[in-house]
Amino acid sequence: MLTTLKRIVQEMNQIPALDTALFRLASRVKQTLNVDSCSIYLADNEAKAFILKATDGLHPDAVENVRIGFTEGLIGLVGQREEPLNIANAQHHPRFKHYPEVKEDNYNAFLGTPITNQRRVLGVITLQQTDLRRFSEDEEAFLVTLAAQLALEITNADIRGALTLSHTAGNIAQQKNVRGIAGSPGLAIGTGFSPDKSINLKNWVVKQTHSPAEQIALYRKGVEVTRGHVNTLSQRLDDGLPEDVKSIFQLYHHLLDANSLGREVEEKIRQGWDAASSLKMVVEDYAARFRAMEDPYMQERAIDIIDLSDRILVNILQEQNGHKITEKAVAGPCILVADEVSATMLAECPRDKLQGIISVRGSNNSHAAILARAMGVPAVMGCQSVSPALLEDKEILLDGYSGEVIISPAREVKADFIQLIEEESAITEKIEAEADKPCESIDGCRMSLYINAGLSAEVELDAGQIGAGVGLYRTEIPFMLRERFPSEQEQVTLYRQILEAAPELPITMRTLDVGGDKPLPYFPINEENPFLGWRGIRLTLDHPEIFLVQIRAMLRANIGLNNLQIMLPMISTVSEVVEAKRLINQAFLEVSDEASGSDNVISRPKLGIMLEVPSVLYQLPQLAKYVDFFSVGSNDLTQYLLAVDRNNTRVASLYNSYHPSVLGALYDIVQKANASQTPVTICGEIAGEPAGALLLMGMGYRRLSMNGFNLRKINWLLRKVTLLECKQLLSLALTSSSQQEVFTHINEYLETKELAGLIRAGA
C-alpha cells in the first residue's frame, strides 16, 4: 500500500497544474481503493467555504460550483473536528446536507479526512460508496497518510499557482503575499529579475575521460578565468562599501587556491573523470558536509562553494567549446531573485538598478545577506515554495524587516508601502548623523557594543563599525576548509592578523567548535543525534592534542599585544572548565618557557565560557569561580530551552528568542552574573535587534555583541531611551503569556517614544 501511495503522489508531482493533478489524484485513489467516488474540496477562507475542486464519482458539473460552508454538512464537520469521519450511512447523519448538483443520492458510506498543514485546514478529501458499511482501518489510514502528503503539495501549488492568476477586470495581476526570513532590513519596490543559472553542476552528468592531462589543463584554465572574474567583482564593490563586505571574497580566493579544492579535483581527474565531473563530485561532497552542520553560518558556506564551482564550470565549458556564454541583462529597478543568491551574483547586478533581494533558500547568515546589509539593500531569505521564474517581470514589494514579499500589489497597498519607505529614509538619516556618538541612555546608562566576527575580523574592524571590540570570533573556518588540521604556525599567523587589527581592543576567540553536526572533512563523526552529541569542548577535551595546539597558537599570536580573550563553547559542567583550564595553563607554561630570555611579553589571557546549554543556568555561582567572564549564546540557548531546531521549517515558527521563558532565563543569567561580579556579554541575534537591545538593557546587560551592520542602529536607539523605561518594559515582557504579547508591549512603547519606524525591525 505504501508503494502505491508513493506512486500516486509522484504522479501528482509531475503534473504542473494543480487542478489537473487533483483530478488525476481522485481517479487514482478511486481505482486503488476500489470505491465508487473520491472527491477533493479546498478551503476558500474569504468565502468561508469548501469548494469542490476535483472528483471521480460525483457529477463533473459540480466542480467549482458546489460551495459548502465551513459549518455546513459532513464536509464542514470534518473541517471543524480536524479529524477523519467514517460513517456507514451518511444520509442519516444529522449533519448531512443534500446538494442536488453533486448527484450523490446513491451513496451511503462516507469517509472524509481533513487536509491540514501547520494547523491550517486546507481542504477535505472524501471517499464514498453505495454500500452500507464503515470503511476499513486500512482504508482510513491510507486516506489520512495521503492527506498529509497532499497538504504539502497544495501549500506549494497554492503559492506557485496564485502568482500566475489574474483578475479579469482590467487584467490586473492578483496580489499575493508570501513570507520568508528577514535577511537585510529595509523596504524596496522593483521588478523581479532572475539570472540565468541553467548551467550548473547539479544538472551535470558525470563523464569519464581518456585524456587526464588535457582535463587538468582545462580545469586550471577555468579556475584562472574564474579568479580573474572574482577579482573584478571584488573591485567593483570598492567604492563606498565597507571592507568587511569585500572580505567575503577571501573565501572564494581560498577555494580557488590549488591547495584547497584544486588538489582533490585534479586527483579525481587522474582517476579517469573529466574536469567538470571531478569538480562536481568534490564540490557536492563539501557542500553536503556544510549543509549537515547545525551552525547556520556554516550551513550557508555551501552556497558559496556551489556558486563558485558553477562559475568554474561555465568557464571550463567556454574554454572547451571556444565561445562565450551570454548572460541576461538587467533592464531597470529590480528585485534580484534566485534559488540561492550568492555574493558574486549580487556583485554582478548593477548597483544603481538593484533594489532588493529574494533568495528561495538561505538564511540571514548567508554571504548574500551579509553583503545586502552592508550595501543597505533589503533582502528576504528562505522564501520557499516560490519559483524565481514565476517572479520574473512581476512588480514586487519587499519588506526586509518582517520577511514579507508582496507580488503584484494592489494600488492602495503600494501607496501605503511608498509612505513607509519615506518614513524609513528619514530615520536612517538620523542614525547616520549620530553614528559617532557614545552609546549611553538618556539617564546615563553606558552600554558597550561589540561585534560578532565570522569572516575576517581584521577587515571587519576596519569597516568603521568597530564598537568596543570583538565579542565572538569563530575559529572553525580554517579547520573546515583544509584537508588536514592546520599547523600551529598556520594558526599563529591567522590569529596574529586578527589581534593586530585592533590591538587596543579586546578580541574574544572561541576555541574550536566542531564535531557532531559540524564534522571536519578529515575527521568524520557519525551520530544519531548530533545536536546532543560529541561537539565543541567535549571533542577538544577528548583530543587534547588538538586543543593544546590551538591554545598555544593563540598565546603565541598574543605575544606583545595582550588583547586576546579565550572563550570555551558548549560548556555543560564545571569539570569541563577545570580540565580546560589545566590544559590552558600547560600551554601557557610551554609558550613561556620557549620565549624565556627574549624581550617578548607573554600575558595570561582572560578566560570565559559560552552559556548556551541550559544546565549551566543552575551552576553560574560555581562556574564564576573559574572564569573571568560569561558570554550568552542566545541562539543555541533558545533552541535548547524550547526544544526547537530553528533550521527545521516544520517547527521554525516555534523558535523565538522573545518567548517569555527565554527572556526569563536571560534575566536570571545576568542577575546571577552580576551577583558574582562576573562580566557577561550576550552574543546571539537578539542583541542586535531593537526590541532585544531594549529588554537586555532593562535586564542589566551592559555588553552586547552583534553583527557589525547593527551597531549604529542599536547605538542610536539606546541613546533615545532611559534605563527606567527599559526596566518597566521588561516587567511587562516577563509577565506576558506569549511572544506576541511581548511584541505588543514593545511596539506600544516605541510608538510613545515616536520611534515607530523601528517597530517593523523588532517584530
Report in angstroms the alpha-carbon separations of 387 from 163, 199, 294, 339, 392: 10, 17, 26, 8, 9
Q: Residue 465 and residue 692: Cα distance in Å, rounded?
A: 20
DSSP element (H, E) containing 124 = strand 120-129
The residue to which cell 521588478 is assigned: 191
Quick one: cell of 34? 476500489
* Beta carbons of 307 and 269 less than 8 angstroms apart: no
* Beta carbons of 163 and 386 less than 8 angstroms apart: yes
Q: Looking at 38, 334, 349, 683, which residue is catalytic? A: 683
Q: What is the DSSP letter of 134?
A: P
* Beta carbons of 233 and 286 less than 8 angstroms apart: no
726 catalytic? Reply is no
Instruction: Give the chain's radius of gyration (CA, Å).
Output: 29
DSSP element (H, E) containing 335 = strand 334-338
* Beta carbons of 157 and 123 less than 8 angstroms apart: no
Quick one: cell of 506? 579586546
The rounded Cα 621 to chain-centroid distance in angstroms is: 35
Q: What is the DSSP letter of 486?
A: P
Q: What is the side-by-side strand order in the sheet with 187-193? A: 176-179, 404-407, 395-399, 187-193, 334-338, 354-359, 379-381, 181-184
Q: Residue 345 and residue 248: Cα distance in Å, rounded?
A: 13
Can you give the length of the chain in residues? 763
The rounded Cα 535 to chain-centroid distance in angstroms is: 21
Half-sphere exposure of 713 (CA within 13 A, CB side): 26
SS3 24: helix
Q: Residue 181 and residue 5: Cα distance in Å, rounded?
A: 33
Report in angstroms the alpha-carbon separations of 372 from 7, 378, 648: 42, 7, 24
Q: Looking at 38, 349, 367, 745, which residue is catalytic? A: 367
SS3 510: strand
Q: What is the side-by-side strand order in the sheet with 85-87? A: 67-69, 49-56, 37-44, 120-129, 109-117, 85-87
Q: Residue 616 and residue 574: Cα distance in Å, rounded?
A: 9
408-435 burial, b at 16+ Cβ within 10 Å, e below that, comes to bbeeeebeebeeeeeebeebbeebeeee
Q: Could you list the active site residues?
A: 367, 683
